[in-house]
Structure 1
Amino acid sequence: MESRRPTALVVDMFGIDALGIADEFNLLKFVFITSNAWVLAVMLRTPEMDRKEINEHVKNRKPLNIPGCKPLNISKIYYAIVKMSLADGILVNTWDEIEPTSLKALRDAKKVPIYPVGPLVRPVKKSALCNEIIDWLDKQPKESVIYVSFGSGETLSSQQVIELAWGLELSQQRFFWVARPPTENDAAGSFLSLGNGSDGTPDYLPDGFSARTQDRGLVVPTWAPQVEVLSHPSIGGFLTHCGWNSCMESIIEGVPMIAWPLHAEQKMNANMLTEDIGVSIGVTRVESDGVVGREEIRSMVGKILMDHQGRNIRSRIKELKNSAAKALVQGDSSYNSLSQVAEICIHQHLKTKVSRG
C-alpha cells in the first residue's frame, strides 16, 4: 500500500466492512452494486422507513419489531447500509435507458453520487468445455431452442424438476436444459452417475424422458457456458431465475425471457422485466403447494417461442440490446459515467501526490 499506493477502493455490497481500509489509507471509496438501481433504491431507503423505530433500536438497543415476525436484532445490517451511503460513489450494473425512473430518484435524493456503468457481463469466449453443447446448438434452426437454467447456486424440489421435465416434453419445442440435481438429492459428481434408467434418464426425471426427447432436447449436468449459449443464434428464449447477471446476459444477446424468480431480489427483477420493460413473460399459475405445473410450463415455452406475444417481446428486447451496446460506447451514458469516476480518481491521485511532496 505504501510503495504502490492505490487511489480508490471498490467493494461490492457484501464487502462494505472493508471500506474502513479506505478511511485508514485516505483512499476514495466506491461500492459496486451487482444488481439494479431499483434494488439499490430500496436498500438506501430502508434505514429511513421508520426513523423512530430505528432510533429506539440503535440508541436504546431495543429489538427491531417487524410486522409478522419475531423481534430481530439487525443493527449490523442497517450499519452496513448507512456506511454504503457514506461512500464517494456507488457504481451500479445498469444504464440510463433501462431504469430512468429509479436512477432519477436516486440522483434527486442526493444522498450519494450514483454511477450507472452497465451492462457489465463476461465476454463470449469459446472453450473446449462447451464444444459438445455448441455442436448440438449448431444443428438447431435459428431461434428455435428454449434455454433453461436457474443459475449455478439454485436448486428445485424433486416435484418441481419432474413438472419442468414434463412441461418441456409436452411443449414439443427444442430445449437445452442445465438440470441440477433436486434439493432432496444429496448425490454429487457426474450427472450420469445419479442412478440412471436403462435409457440414460437420471432417476429424478420421468421414466423414459431422455428417450422421448432425444431428437429435440439436450440435458447437461450442473453447469453450462451461459454467455456462449445465449449468444448462439439457435437460442430463442431463456427460462431464468432472474438473477441480475443472467438478465443482463440475456438482454445483451437479445434473448427474450420466461421470468421464474426463486428468492431474494429476483422477484423484483422479474417484475421489472415483465411489467416495466416488456422483455419477458412471467409465471402466472402456481399450484397450492408452490409448484409450477407442467401445463403452465408448456404454455410459457410455446408463448415465448411461437406465439405473437413472444414475437413482440423479441422485438422489444432487440431494441434494448441496441440500447445496452450504445450505453457502453464512447460518449454515451455508461461510458461517460465511468469516465467521471476515473476523473475523480485522477484528481485525487494528483492531490495526494502534491500533498506528499
Structure 2
Amino acid sequence: MADNNPSPHVVVVSSPGMGHVTPLAGLAKLLVLRHHFTATLVTFSDLPWSLPSSISTIQLPTPLLDDLPSNTHFVTRICLTIAHSVSPYVKSSSLSGEPPASPPVGHPKLSFYNLQLFLPFFHAPPPYTRRNHHGEFRDLSEPLRLPGCVPLKGEDFLEPMQERESVVCAWVVHLARNYDLFDGTLVNNFEAFEADAVLFYKKRGVGKPHVWPIGPLIGFDLDMGTEQSSHKCMEWLNQQPSKSVVFICFGSVGTLSLEQTRELALGLEMSRQRFIWVVRVPNDTEMSNSYFNPKQNGDDCLGFLPEGFLERIKDRGMMVQSWGPQREVLSHYATAGFVSHCGWNSTLESLVNGVPMIAWPLYAEQRMNAVLLVEGVKVALKAKVRVNGVVRREEVAKVVKELMEGEGGKEVRRRMQEMKEEAAKAVEK
C-alpha cells in the first residue's frame, strides 16, 4: 500500500568549499534524525563523511573558469561557480543577468546563514541598498550602528562589500534587495550569543521573514572515520598538562604571507608557551589561496620557517602541515587557547568547547566576526596589526602570554565558559 503521508523532503544546496558544506550536511542530518525528513544534499565536492541512507547527495560539476584572471578574488569565483552550476536547475528571476534570488514558485524558500545572527539584516541597511550612496564603505567616517549589533567601522565590513564595483558586491546587494522574498532564514547561531540581535528580530513585526537561530551546528556528529584520532598531534597533546596548549589554525583554506608566517613563528617562540600550529605554504597575494587549490599544500610547509626554529621549539611545539583535526584538538583537556581566523565554523567549535580565542581575521566576513567576539561577546583578545597588515613577533608573544597567563585571558576564559554552557542548552532544545 502506498504511503499517503510521505516524509517531507528538503533540498539543501551548498556553495563551494568544505567550510560551507559541513554545517549544511549537519543541518540535513539534524532534519533526518530528529524530524524524520528525507533530504538531498547538493554539493560541489565529494564528502568525507558517512551520512544516513535517507540523505542522498548530488555532486554538481565545477564549471571551468579558466578565462578568469589569475588574481580573481575567491569570493568572485564562488559566485560565478554557483551561477554557472545551479542556474540551469532553478528558474531564473525576472532580473536579467543577475543571479536568481529564490527557488521556483510554490516551494517554501528558506535561506541558511552560517554567519552572525544579524548578517541577514546587515546585508541590507540603507547605505548598502541606497543607489545614491557614493564612495567606498571602508572610507565611512563613522561606525555603522545597526539594531542589536556592535558598531562596525567601514574597514571591518563584509570583505566583498569593500569594492562597490565588484561582481561580488553586486551579488550581495541583489540578494539584500530580495531578502523579503524568502519565507524565513535559518541561522547557525544561538540566542544567548547575540541576545540583542534576537530581540531586534522578534520586534520586527508582521510581514517580515522569520529568523530562527538553530545552532550551534558544528557538523552534528558527522562520522569522519578513525583517521583523526590517530593523528600524531593528538598523541603529542595527550602528553601535555591540562589547559597548557595554544592551538593555531586559520581554517581549511587560510594562508599567511611569508613575512607573517615567520613573525608568527618567532612570536610563538618568544612567548615560551606550548602550542600546536597548523601551518601552510605562505602566499603573499591571497589570504584564501587554498580555497580552490587545496592540493598545493601537499608541499613542504616547514621549509619557509625561520632557520633553527623547529629545533628550538621541539620540546614545547608541534607543527602540523596543511590540516589538523581541529574539533578533536579544541575538545581536548590540554587545549587552553585558540588563535583563529574567526571563520564561523571555527568560532562555533571554540564556543562549544569553551576555548577562549585570539582573533586573527583574514578575509570574507571574518573581521566582522572578530569585532563581535572581541568587543561584543568578549570571548577573544586581538593582536594589534601594523599599517602594512603584519602582526609583529613582539605583539604575537604579548597577546599569547596575555591569553594564557594574564588578567585579560582570565576574563575572556570566564566569558567563554558562560557561552559554552549556553551553547549546550541550545543544543538540548
Please state which band the TM-score falls in when normalised by the shorter chain.
0.7 to 0.9
| Paired residue type of 1:305 | M
The runs of 4+ residues in structure 1 deviating greater than 3 Å are 3-25, 48-52, 64-77, 123-126, 184-191
Tell me if the contact between 1:8 and 1:28 (Cα under 8 Å) persists in the aligned partners: no
Q: Which runs of 5+ in 2 are unaligned?
A: 16-78, 93-101, 140-162, 290-294
Q: 1:312, CA displacement in angstroms?
A: 1.9
- Tell me which of 98, 108, 118 is aligned to 1:38: 118
Aligned residue in 2 for 1:61: none
1:115 aligned partner: 212
Give, as a single letter, the amino acid of the residue that structure 2 aligns with 1:91: L
Q: Distance in 1 between matches of 2:323 and 2:128?
A: 43
Report the Cα offset of residue 327 of structure 1: 1.1
- Alpha-carbon contact 1:11-1:31 (below 8 Å) kept: no
Conserved 8 A contact 1:29-1:87: yes
Q: What SS does the aligned partner of 1:28 have?
A: coil
**8 Å CA contact 1:147, 1:237 repeated in 2:** yes
Decide whether aligned partners of structure 1 residues 82 and 7 sit closer, same or farther in structure 2, where only a CA change above 3 A counts. Answer: farther
Give 1:93's match in structure 2, choosing from 188, 191, 200.
188
The Cα of 1:156 is off from its aligned counterpart by 0.6
SS in 2 for 1:223: coil
1:237 and 1:255 in contact (8 A); partners too: yes
CA distance 1:276–1:24, shift in 2 (3 Å): closer
Following superposition, the deviation at residue 311 of structure 1 comes to 1.7
Percent sequence identity is 34
Q: Normalising by the residue count of structure 2, what TM-score does the alignment of the two structures yield? A: 0.65
| Residues 70 and 149 of structure 1: CA distance in aligned 2, closer, same or farther (over 3 Å) | closer
Change over 3 Å in CA distance of 1:19–1:40 after alignment to 2: farther
2:426 to 327, 331, 344: 327
Residue correspondence of structure 1 range 138-177 to structure 2 within 5 A? 138-177=238-277
Shift of 1:281: 0.5
Match of residue 188 from structure 1:
296
How far did 1:129 drift?
3.9
* Count of residues paired in the alignment: 308
Higher mean alpha-carbon deviation, 217-226 vs 118-127, is at: 118-127
User: Greater share of helix residues, 1 or 2?
Assistant: 1
2:131 match:
53
> For the aligned residues, what is the CA RMSD?
3.0
Q: Distance in 2 between matches of 1:33 and 1:267?
A: 17
Asked if structure 1 preserves the Cα contact closer than 8 Å seen for 2:297 and 2:322, the reply is: no
Q: TM-score, normalised by structure 1?
A: 0.77
Query: Which letter does structure 2 place at the counterpart of 1:49?
Result: P
**Any idea what the Cα deviations from partners look like across 1:181-235, whole Å, max 9, x if unmatched?**
10049993545x46xxxxxxx3311101110000000001111111111001100
Distance 1:117 1:71, change over 3 A: closer
User: What's the counterpart of residue 225 of structure 1?
Assistant: 325
Q: How far is the alpha carbon of 1:108 from its aligned partner?
A: 2.4
How far off its partner does 1:267 sit? Answer: 1.1
| Matched-pair contact (CA < 8 Å) for 2:356–2:380 | yes
Using the alignment, how far apart are the partners of 2:357 and 2:267 within structure 1? 16
**Secondary structure of 2:296 counterpart:** coil
Task: Tell me which of 109, 127, 134 is aligned to 2:226.
Answer: 127
- For the structure 1 residues 146 and 76, does the alpha-carbon distance in structure 2 shift closer, same or farther, using more than 3 Å as the test? closer
Name structure 1 gaps, 5 residues minimum.
55-63, 195-201, 331-357
Aligned with 1:291 (options 390, 396, 407):
390
Structure possessing the higher radius of gyration over alpha carbons:
1
1:243 aligns with 2:338: no
